[in-house]
Amino acid sequence: MLNKINIAVLVGGGGTNLQALLDAADRGEIPSGNISLVISGKEGAYALERAKKHNVPTATADRKWYEKQEDFEEAILSSLKENNIRLIVLAGFMWILSADFIEKSGCKIINVHPALIPSFCGKGFYGLKVHEAALEYGVKVSGATVHFVNEIPDGGQIIMQKAVDVLDDDTPETLQKRIMEQAEWKLLPAATQKVCEELIKES
């Protein structure tokens, strides 16, 4: 029986969610998983520096480098295979992965979304756009969701959610920061551990 699941974190920018995972792993909060690889969708992303500081191997695959989506996805699949990855965590990865990729990877894939799905999710809802929409709508509660990834953007089964109050004087930026601190950075490590535990039981 496997005692640890190899995890790849796919990142796109600063890597604050990656940092939350690395810190949680350091605190012993992901005992069933091992962060074995960080793949950036953007060259020179600061997230790669965070990975290197923790001695985690890195790779970069920018969609703009490849003529076809299949070639881009093949590059990622190759890195996953080399590192025997069983779980992919999407943490700010800005490129959409196809249904074909999801099937070929043979991995469970999870994503963190900065709203309470099914609100403010799906195609076009990412980054600050999510928080702008929430404030425009006037919701009093928002939050974050970790869910499995399937072929529909933000359409996979929900694993965990955490609600965060929206304040009267919130801007998209202040709401984004509070949801990260109070929900995303707590949920993502907890959900990662939960899925790793399930994968070990299945193996």
Amino acid 96: pLDDT = 86
Amino acid 84: pLDDT = 96
Can you give the pLDDT of all 203 residues of the chain as single tens digits?
Answer: 568 999 999 999 899 999 999 999 999 999 999 999 999 999 999 999 999 999 999 999 999 999 999 999 999 999 999 999 999 999 989 888 999 999 999 999 999 999 999 999 998 898 999 999 999 999 999 999 999 999 888 999 999 999 999 999 999 999 999 999 999 999 999 999 999 999 999 98
Q: Which of 54, 113, 131, 147 is catalytic?
A: 113
Burial 168-197 (b: 16+ CB within 10 A, else e): eebebeebbebbbebbbbbbbbbbbbbbbe
Amino acid 2: pLDDT = 67
Amino acid 203: pLDDT = 83
Amino acid 22: pLDDT = 98
In what helix (H) or strand (E) does residue 163 lie, and over which residues does it extend? Answer: strand 158-165
Amino acid 13: pLDDT = 85
Structural domains in the chain, sorted by start: 5-202 (3.40.50.170)
Amino acid 3: pLDDT = 86
Amino acid 94: pLDDT = 83
- In 41-148, DSSP assigns E strands to 58-60, 87-91, 108-113, 141-148
Q: What sign has the CA pseudo-torsion 45, 95, 141, 159?
A: negative
Catalytic residue list contains 131: no
- pTM of the full structure: 0.94
